[in-house]
Structure formats: structure tokens, C-alpha cells
Amino acid sequence: MKKSWHLSRRTMLKGVGVSMALPWFEAMSWAGDGKTKTPPKRLFCMYIPYGTCTPQNKPEFDIYPTGSGRDFKLSPILASLGPYQKKMSIFKHHSHVRSRSLNAHFAADIWLTGADIRRSYQQQVSIDQLLAEKIGLQTRYPSLVLSSEGGTGTRGATRTVSFSKSGSPVPALNNPRFVFQRLFAEDSSEALKRNQDGIDEGRSILDAVLESSKDLRRHLGKHDQAKLDEYMTSVREVERRIDVAEQWLNVPKPKVDASDLNLDVSPDVPEAYVDTMLHLTFLALQTDSTRVVTYQMGAEQADKATRFPITACGLKKDAHNVGHHGEEKGEWEAFRTWETWRAERLAKFLKRMDEAREGDGSLLDYSMVLYGAGSSSPHDHVNTPNILLGGEKIGLRQGRFYNPEPSANSKGIENRANRHSTWDPEREQPLCRVFRTMLDCFDVEAPHLTDSRGLVSELRA
Amino acid sequence: MRRPHILAVVLLIACANPGEAAPVDADPVGQQPRSQINYETGIRPLLARYCFECHGQEKPKGDLRLDRLSPDWSNLEAVSHWVEVRDQLNLGEMPPKKAKQPDAKELARLVDWVSTGVNKALRSHSAESKIVFRRLTKQQYGNSLRDLLGITLQDLESDLPDEQRSAEGFDNNGELLVTSPFHIEMYQKIARRALDAAIVTGDEPKVTCSVPSGSLKFEYTVEVKKDGRKEKRFKHLWLYDHPDKPKEWYETDKNGRKVFRRRHPIALCRVGGGAQGLDEGGVVLSRSYGVNPISQRRDFGPLWFDCSRFPYSGTFQVKITAGATIPDNAPNPTLVVYLGYDTEMMHRAEVGRVELTNSTDDLKQFVFTGHLDNFPMPKPGKITKQSGLILTISSLYPTPQKRGDWAEPTILVKNFEFTAPFHEVWPPRSHTKLLPPKPADVPEQVYVRQVVERFMKRAFRRPVKKAELDRMMKLYASNRSRYGSIEAAIKVPLTAVLCSPSFLYLSEPYTNSGAVPTSRALNDFELASRLSYFLWNTTPDAKLLQLADAGRLGDERTLRAQVKRMLADPKAWHFVRAFTDQWLKVEQIDNIAINALYYRDFNNRYQKRDFKNEVYQFVGHVLLNDRSCLDFVDSDYLVLNHRLAHYYQIPGMSQRSGFQKVVLPKDSDRGGLLTMVAPLMVTTPSGEETSIVKRAVYFMDRLMGTPPPPPPPNVPDFNEQQIDESLPVKQKLEFHRTKTACANCHRKIDAWGVLFESYDAVGRQRSQYFAERIKEDKGRKRIEVYHGAKIDDGAELPDGTRITGVKALKDYVLRKRKEVFLKNVASKLLSYALGRSLSLTDEPLVDELAQTLAKNDYRAHALIEAIVTSKAFRSK
């Protein structure tokens, strides 16, 4: 078998979906002692599959608000988000520049990565993992990757929206009990010993290779020494990560009240399941177990989550077919029902986030919540709705509807992948600019997002 | 947003009329005239006339004093100023518009002189340091692990980041091979995984998937069609591990109740499209009908097994008893076995293939083995019909040139066995090779010491010092208590060995710690490593290390004999593939999406593999079979399989499906590398209309080794320029030519690319360009591609020769630019062999190598041997 428990602890974590790198001991006390002054910054990204409701000239079925700028009125679909209108920004006509001609079933693969996969499937790091690499060492888990399906899925049908630095998918967790145990249950003494053994062994190996390196170094020319130093520095950095991991081993996990959590719920009961996953997300952020969470509510070409419209809303069609609507009677209504249900899940989560006090505001004020889809209707990679909520205490200026004006005499270009629609190349804005603005609040740069430059200035406080 | 095809059109026009460009006095591919320009007589007067007024006084403009700038290319600071001069000239920014302007001839002289000097200077500075301590590349690391441990896992290294490419295009450049913490973490993880695959603990795992011999019994019904034809319809058949026992039965349980029991089937067997009929206890396979000979796209194959219980890892074995019926004149059919899952998406990989020559009276057993980790596996979870592990057996043979040439050959599959996990011996060979059985009277410490020492010697490619071994033994001792067995515990020191710099780096240290000499000869072990990573891209084998141990490898005759031996070894294909990929950028065709609007019948998914293999096979044929290096330019043969022969419309392909040498018809233009599909495609990144500039640069850089200077900074791409698309062609051209920034260089570049114009992006000959128009269809706008202007592939080369087409270009290179080409082949191979960029000091060696080639009928082995025996290769 490939896997073996005595791999490094990091590998173990990766294997079960809590990703990479290891926590940074010194700074892990935020949630505990309450003495630290500023609450930490967090990010949560939630993906919804199979497009969103974006009909032409049917405002009653449109996810987008009417109006623009600071003066906008939420659509019926987003009515449940009413209380947070001042805390959100909605982006219309935003999408990934290099994916506009792609088949929309690749939407989830590139939602957070913005990778150019037109020619071949070359993934790059997703914004959450990029952030986790920068701030992840400060918490027990650098990031928490969730999805309703779990695992990694395949290309074009990914079951995670997070991709590591090398572009490989980070496996997602989908079992609520498992997530809970990982975050809050004390490890058994055997598990602790096993982890300690893994750490000791890893350290002894690194010690040995470092000693060999020193021997070798004495016999190298100056130039070669510089090359070997690069290697030795890397080994020391890995040692440091192991040290941090070891310190976490002996720190008790946070205690939370689990009485209103139903951990045995399955995706067959969508409403309870999605709410539980979001509740766990809330707890993970609140206890500062991690500061970066992603949740893919459903995958394109998934199993159970594709049936959510049937199992949750009593519709006749699954998510794929609801998204592939025509103009028949009742089809837009069905899509709206499904869309409204999804927004209500978000609203419930936001209520929790907004009610939790944190520093001089709420947890929502210190967290960015990105709720978005990789495609519009029907299955287009253009005009993809994304809503960014919260984060007002960490650098965002909220309460705006971004609705770029159509260009005066655009010819409109037909979507190559989807012959049903055209898009206006002058109007369509790069979504990566929004991402870069978000990361800017964390002082993280994203030079690899090359399809655009600059930030969205109105969004940055 | 401008679309990229505009670029091609604009440039095309620019290049089709090179006569109107400024007069030409230097030929970049020839290289001679430029270096002869003298600074004092040819350049300084020009600078004095046009530049010194502003840049030759106290407080010069832009802080740049040209009168004091020395033409000393060894001074890096001076070079950086010259780079600035070059860019300003190219951009047409200097001299300023209102000042005196040099004429075109003077400008060209200046630009040539500066560019040549800057290029040489930069090259020599970048490689000043000679061979550095270089890390194994991603591929070398994977190959070495597999060879050291005797395992076949193909994806070991796949999680490592790709390496950076040097200016020459190679990824084994020591300077650029960096190591990050991510590497260290991955090395540990990969080493663990590889060791777990090689070293086993405990008893042999139970076979979980076995389709036993004799289970191949088919049932069918006969359906009578409307027209009276009878057709056999095969039933899908569930296979059971004990076919003779009942499938369902009742049992009495403990409580005395009757319980219904059902045997779980082990596999579902299907007979698909290409199965012709049923014979006594076997299936007759003809080729799957309706197969496109190029794409092979169709169903999963004539005979397949869907196994519902199977392991996800480990080795497997397939045994097939089969024979063929081969009508007169018909080719031998090839039996091909695939393993994978999902019939529709074709997630499968080839297990193996064998050409059948035995008749059905003389049935033979063919055995294939593989490692499940190397195949696409179904996702774990509930396995239903058609979602299990699917093994396919099918028959392949070339398409007849015309119908009725011969009757179809068929394969009779008489019997069939599939076993997983399969172990020929237990423990597997990889295990006993590393850990031979421990004699009872040898103490553990002694035994482990022997094992670790032997492994270290192989991994470090040299004898091991006592201190090094002691350190690993200490590591073993400190971790021993955690593990129940020697086998498990020994993986700890072995992991450390595989993460050590002595394994990960090609280190050539100095033996005494005193002053470091500037150069020294390599010892035999270091030479073995260099040789092995050059010609095999992997770790040296036992034979090389033996010779090194005996101190005999340094002997020139032995060395030459070893080169011959290594080039005849299958591992030499690692070298061929890596070198070809990096020299000719072949693998990049995977990144090109051929636009179906332009190329309707091109299949992105299946054809590219053939196009890549064609280049590997051809380069391999030349390098390994000691053919003439001039074959790269033009040859009277190609190495093709039957699909490629069909694609190129080359008749007379012998009736087999695999790659082989095919003699071209007399009038064929296809000889050599330039007209293969991969180079023509890799220079068309848009996947739409071809690009003259890209092809010209590819030819100049890759084939001739004389890359044009890079475009100056801030030059916008053509597609971003505001050229009105509705302008007539002629005016667009003029717009382009008004930009001096472009004209200075492009008049020397574009002609080479124009010659390729009669080949499209997928390498087919053509007579018309593509054009796009927007079509309105019921109120919707749609892009339509049609055939537009006629191709003109005639061009005037920088030396004034006027030629038409690629065939003429090949002749031109062979007649007039042979030395330049040979020098390029020599320098590319030398740069790859040394793992560094070449510098000015290497030029004499490159010249010598090119002469060696010329003296030896251009034979590839002469070049390789000359490189290996050169001082540069044999010293540090």
C-alpha cells in the first residue's frame, strides 16, 4: 500500500483532508486566553455547483439585485440575506478571463485557482491554500477542506475546490463526525504516541541527513557550497515545522458544545447535512482551529449532492437538469426554488457568524465569506455570480453591487463551448481582481493570477 | 480583445515581401559577417555622429556616457549598459525623432554588433561557474529510485514540481535546479512509498481477484434479422471463481432455518463490437469494426472483463492463450491488452501487446504483468456493473490500402487468466535483492550493516565511508524499538539514505579539505555517474560501478565500449526522450488545443501521442542506431507506425502496427524533423492559424542554434495594436512596417518562417490560409472559418537567396549551412551532457565536435563518444 502511518505527521494530515504544513506554536493562543488584542483574519469560501439563476429580462428569477453601486435591491432569491445587505458585495459580469470558452463542468476546478486549463490541465494553487501557506502555521490546522462528496474526484468533476502549491487537489472531508473529531475530540493516548513516534522518527532522519551534509560541505568549492546550503536550509525549515507540530501535540483541543450538532447526518438529508457542515465551519473558525476553510456544496457530476433539488426541495429534476433549463413553464420557477434554498443555507450560517462576538465586532466582521458559482445559466463560464460577505474589520468595504455597464457597440462573442449565449468582452471583468483584493487584506500577494492587474479599489477599505 | 490570428496574418504579409524591407548585410543563421565588425572603425564613428552629443558630455542624458562605455564584454556593468543601448535602438526611441537619424544600413550594423556582443557576453557570464553540484532532475530522481529498488511504480515522482528550463531548453542545468522545503518533504514521503513497495513484511497477501483458467465459456442466442441474416447475440456472463459449483443454493443455518445463499460473481464478461464469433471454447476477435485508424476511438473493445472484487494496489498477471488465423497476404494481427475502468470515458492504459504469428492449431500462452498503481483505477466504493476494474483484450492490424487487398486476420482467444495481487515469488525480487535472507547465525547488527552498506553504495554511486555508515546504523538503532521486524525498521535508515545529498545531488567533492583547485579529473565513480545520467537518465548499473571499482572506466577503450553498451540498452530511451523533449519541445504539443473550428477532423485526444512518439522514434533511430545526424535535416526515410503512414499518405508501410523505418517515396517532402507534425504544431500555440514568427524562431533557435535577440521590452504584441480589422491587407502590412522597432529584427527572422507556410498547424499540406468571419444566424452571431487567400511560401533569405518551401530550405541547410547545423547539434548535446550552459571557452570544443562529426560521416555515435571522452566531460 502507498500509505503508511509512520509517514510524517504532515502526510497523515494531508491524507485525511486537513492540509499540509504545520501549526505555529507561539501564536496559537488567540481563542484561548483572550489577551491578544486583535482577532485574527479568516477566510471561508463556499462553492455552489451547476450554475446560478441568471435569466435575461426576468428580474423576478434573477439572482442579481436590481440597481447598482450602493443603491441596490436584493432579488427574491437572496431575500434571506436581507439583514446582511450592508455587509455584502455582489459581483455581476465577473469571471475568469481564460476560461470563458471552456465547458462549464470545469467550473469548480478553477473557481479558486483561476488556472488556465484550456490547453492542458495545468492547475495552480487555489487562493485558500495560498493563504494557508502564509498564515496556516498559526493554527492547529492550516486549512480545512470540506465538500459534500469528499475526496478529490477527477478532472472536470472535482470534489474539492482547494489545490495545493503543486497544483494537486487537496482531498476534502465530507463526514461531519470525522470533521468534528479531528477538530475537537481528544486523541487517544495511542494516537498521541503514534504521532509522537512519527515526529521522533522524522526528526532523527533529518538529523542524520543534516550531519551528512555538513561532512560533504567541507569538501565542496564555494559555488557548490551555496547550492548545498539551499538544501540544508530547506531541511532545517522542515525540522522547524516538525517542532511546531510536536508542540501542538500536547495542547488540548478546544472544547465546544456539541449538543445541537447532528453528526450522523448524511447527504441524503440535504438541509440538515449542509447546515451541519456549515455549523462545523463556524466552530472551526470561532475556536481558531483554522483560519482557512473551503466547502464545496456540490460537485459537478457528483452523486448525492446532484440530487439535492429532489431530496431537499421536492423538485422533479436533479441539479444538473434544473440548471439546464429551457423556457418551458415552471422551469425558471424550479431553478429559483433551488437557488433560494441554497441562499437560505448561507443565511443561516451568516446569522451564526454575525451573532458570535469577536473583539469589537462579530466573527463575520473578522471573516471573509465568499459564496459563489463557477458558472451562470445555463452552464456558462461568463457572468458567474460571486458574493463576498463580511470582513469589514479586516479591510473590506462592503455594501455594493458591482454591475459593469455594457459597452456601447459590442458585437458580442458567442461562447464556443455553449452555443446558446453570447457575451460582451468589454463588460466582463476578471474575477481574479476580486481575489487579489481579498488576499491584499491578508497582506498576501498573488502574482500567479496573471489574467488581470490591480485591485478592486472600491472594495478595499 | 484582439484574437491571435490577426498576428499571423499581419506578419505573414510583412514577410511575404521581404524585398521591400531595409537592405540586409548580415545573416543571423550564417553568423559570419557580424563578428567581423570592428568597434573602433565600424561602430565608434557611428556613436560619435548620432549619440555623443547627448551621451558624451558631463552630466549626460539618462546618466549614460557612451563615449566612455567600453566594448569590453567581460565587464558585466558595461554589458548591462549595452543591453540598454540595444533595446533603445530596437524600439526606435533613440536617437530622438528631432535629432539626426542613422540610415537603415548604419542602424542595422549597430544593432547587429551590439546584439552579438551582448548575447555572447550574457551566455559566457551565465555559465562562468562551470559544472555545479547538481540535483537530480524530477525524471532522474524517479528513474533512479525505480532502478535502485527494482520497482515499477511509474508515478513516484509525479508530485514533485517541474524543473526550470535553461536558455538551451534543458532541465538538467545545475544552476537552475533549486531545492525547497517542499522538495525535502516530498523526498521523504516518496522514499517511504517506494520502500514500502519494494520491501514487504509478513506473509504473501491473499489473491483477491482471480479469473481462473477455463472460465471462458460463452453463451449466445441466435437472432434472425428482418432480411433473414442470422446474428449471434452474446449474453453477458457473470464469472464465478468456482464455475462448477452452484451459483445459488439453500443452506440450513444455526437455528435450523433454510437460508438462501448466492455466490458472489468475480467478474462480468462482455463480448463487444469486434468479436466475430464463437469457436469451440473461445472467442474469435477481428478488429473492432468502425475504428478510425487514426483515433482508435470506439468502444472498449471486443472482449472485456469487468471485475467486481479487486485490490487497489500491487502487481497483477494476465495469461492469455491465443492463436491467429492469417489469410494470404494479410498482416499479422496484434493482441493488445488494456486495463482500466469506465467504458465510456476510456480511462485505461495498455498492459502490453504481442504480434501473433502462431496459428490456431498452435496455441500459445502470452503472459503480461503490471503494477495496478500504474493504471487508472475505479474509485473505491460500491462496485456495480461496468464500474469495476475492466480488462480488455482486442486485436489490432493496419488498414488495407484498399478494400479487398486481403481478408481480415482474426485472433482466437482460447483461454484466459487474471490474478491480482500476483507474486511470482514471495517475498518479491525487489525485497530479496535488498534484503537477502538472513542466515540464522549472523547477528542482526552485522546483517543490517551489510544491507545498509550495499544499498548506500548503490544509492551514493560510490564507496561508503565508515562515518557515513555508522551514522545510518545509529539511526537504525534509535528507531529499532518502534518496529516489530528488521524489514520494517530498516526502512528508516534507507529513507535517510534516499534523502541524503549524496543521493540527491551529483556531487564531485574535493578529497582534501585544503585549497580548492580550479579543475581536476573526475574519479571513475564520478565518471560513471555522469555517464549514466547522460546516456540513461538514471543511476549507474552494477557493471559501471564494477568497472569504476576496478579503476578501469577511465581507460578510453573501456569508456568507448561502455558507451556502445549503454546506447544498446533499453534505458537509453530515457535519454532519447528527455533530450528530444527538451531540444525540440515535443512534449509541449500537449498544451496546444487544436481548434475544431479550423481542424474539424483532428482528434486532440488520441493523435498527439503518435506525433510525439514519431519524433522520439526518429531521434532515437539516429542517435542509438548510429545514423547520420544530417538525417535530422532531411532523410529518405521516417520511423512511423501504420497510423502515421496513413496520416502522411505514405504507401508501402509493411503490414504491422508498430513503429519501424519506412522508406519515403522519391517525391516526398517529409524527410527530416522539420516537416513532422510535432514541430509544426508546437509552433502554433493558438491551435488555429500558423505563426510565421514562431516557426522562424523555432528553426533558428532549435535547429540552427542561432536564436534571434529577444524582442525589446515594451513592444506590444501585434494583436494588441489597434489595427482596424477591416483595413485592406496591404495597409495592415504598411502599419507593421512603419514600426522600426519590428522591422530591424524581423527582416532577418520572418523569411525562415514563411517557408513553412504550406503546412498547417496539424502538419498537413495546404494551399490556402484560414480566415474567420462572423456569421449571423437567426440573430445569433457565430464565428465561421473558411479557406481564404492562397499560400505563398516563397521568401528571400537574409543572404539574398530566393527559395520556395521547406524542401528547398532543407536543401539550403545541407548545401550552405551544414557547419552551423552540425555545431548546433554538437552544442545541444554537449550542454545536455554537461548539465550546464555553454560559455565562450567551450567554443573550441564545439568546433572540434562538429569536425569530428564531419570526419565520421556525421554518425551520431562518433559525436557521443567524442563528448564522453572530452576533457570537459571527464573533469570538474
The pLDDT of residue A161 is above 80: yes
DSSP assigned state of A334: H
Q: Would you call B871 exposed, middle or buried from its count of C-beta atoms within 10 A (0-12, 13-18, 19+)?
A: exposed
pLDDT-based confidence at residue A421 (cuts at 50, 70, 90) = low
ipTM over 0.95: no
**Cβ–Cβ of B179/A6 closer than 8 Å?**
no
Q: Which pLDDT score is estimated for B232?
A: 64
Instruction: Classify residue A151 as left (phi > 0), alpha (psi -120 to 50) or beta.
Output: left
Q: Is residue A6 part of a domain?
A: no
Q: How many Cβ contacts (< 8 angstroms) between chains A and B?
A: 144
Q: Which residues pair with A380 in a beta bridge?
A: A376
pLDDT for residue A9: 35
Within a domain: residue A241? no
Query: CA–CA separation, B166 vs B178, rounded Å?
Result: 13
Cβ distance of B499 and A209 shorter than 8 Å: yes
Mean pLDDT of chain A: 83
Q: Does B76 touch chain A (CB under 8 A)?
A: no
Which residue in chain B has the smallest CA separation from A133?
Answer: B182
- The string of pLDDT tens digits covering residues B540-593 is 999 999 999 999 999 999 999 999 999 999 999 999 999 999 999 998 887 777
Q: Does residue B121 lie within any of the structural domains? A: no
Rounded to the nearest 10 degrees, the angle between the axes of helix A189-217 and helix B466-480 is: 170
Contacts of range A215-222, beta carbons closer than 8 Å, 24 or more positions apart: A215/B467, A215/B468, A216/B501, A216/B502, A216/B507, A216/B509, A218/B513, A219/B509, A219/B510, A219/B511, A219/B513, A220/B133, A220/B507, A220/B509, A220/B510, A221/B510, A221/B516, A222/B516
Lowest mean pLDDT of A84-88, A317-321, B393-397, name the range: B393-397
Domain containing B332 equals 209-420
In a domain, A323, yes or no: yes
* Residue B292 lies inside a defined structural domain of this protein: yes
Read off the CATH number of the domain in which A276 is found: 3.40.720
H, E, C per residue of B743-779: HHHHHHHHHHHHCCCCECCCCCECCEEEEEEEEEECC
Instruction: Identify whether B833 is part of a domain.
Output: no
**Residue A82 DSSP SS3:** helix
Q: Which long-range contacts (CB under 8 A, 24 or more apart) does B598-604 make?
A: B598/B687, B598/B688, B598/B689, B598/B761, B598/B770, B598/B785, B599/B687, B599/B760, B599/B761, B599/B762, B602/B762, B603/B292, B603/B294, B603/B295, B603/B297
Of B133, B474, B782, Cβ closest to residue A414: B782
Residue A77 has pLDDT above 90, yes or no: yes
**Which of B500, B594, B781 to probe by mutation at the A interface, max A CB count within 10 Å?**
B500
Q: Name the residue among B161, B193, B482 with its Cβ closest to that of A2.
A: B193
pLDDT tens digits, residue range A440-451? 999 999 988 888
Which of A228-232, A353-357, B382-386, B610-614 has the weakest average pLDDT?
B382-386
At B193, which amino acid appears?
R
B409 near B397, Cβ under 8 Å?
A: yes
Q: Which residues of A touch B478 (CB under 8 A)?
A: 204
Q: How confident is residue A397, by pLDDT bands cut at 50, 70 and 90?
A: very high
pLDDT at B290: 33
Average pLDDT over residues A229-236: 91
Task: Name the residue among A10, A119, A215 with its Cβ closest to that of B185.
Answer: A10
Picking from A105, A210, A227 by the largest number of B CB atoms within 10 A of its own CB, the best residue to mutate is A227
Ranges in chain B, pLDDT < 70: 1-36, 76, 90-93, 122-131, 210-221, 231-244, 263-282, 286-308, 342-347, 379-387, 398-404, 511-518, 603-606, 652-657, 710-745, 779-781, 840
DSSP B3: -
**Smallest Cα–Cα separation from B210: which of B418, B23, B469, B453?**
B418
User: Is B192 part of a structural domain of the chain?
Assistant: no
Domain of A151, in residue numbers: 38-175+256-459
Of B181, B475, B500, the CB nearest to A237: B181
Asked if residue A267 has pLDDT above 80, the reply is: yes
A342 within domain boundaries: yes
Q: What is the reported pLDDT for B114?
A: 84
Across A227-232, average pLDDT: 90
Cβ within 8 Å, pair B188-A205: yes
pTM flag (> 0.80): no
Percent of chain A exceeding pLDDT 90 equals 40
* A95/B17: higher pLDDT: A95
Separation between Cα atoms, residue A55 and residue A376, nearest integer Å? 9
pLDDT at residue B777, as a whole number = 72
Q: How many domains does chain A have?
A: 1
Query: What's the pLDDT at B4?
Result: 39
- Whether residue A247 is contained in a domain is answered as no
Give the CATH number, domain containing residue B327: 2.60.120
The answer to the question of residue B584 being in a domain is: no
In a domain, B130, yes or no: no
Question: B687 and A119 in contact by Cβ < 8 A?
Answer: yes
Give the pLDDT score at B849.
96
Q: Between chains, do B479 and A201 touch, taking CB under 8 Å as contact?
A: yes
Asked whether residue B404 is domain-assigned, the answer is yes
A246 found inside a domain:
no
Q: How confident is the model at residue A399 (pLDDT cuts 50, 70, 90)?
A: very high
Q: Give domain status of residue B316, yes or no.
A: yes
- Number of folded domains that form chain B: 1
Predicted pLDDT of residue B367: 92
> A250 in a domain, yes or no?
no
Is A267 part of any domain?
yes
- pLDDT at residue A7 above 50? no
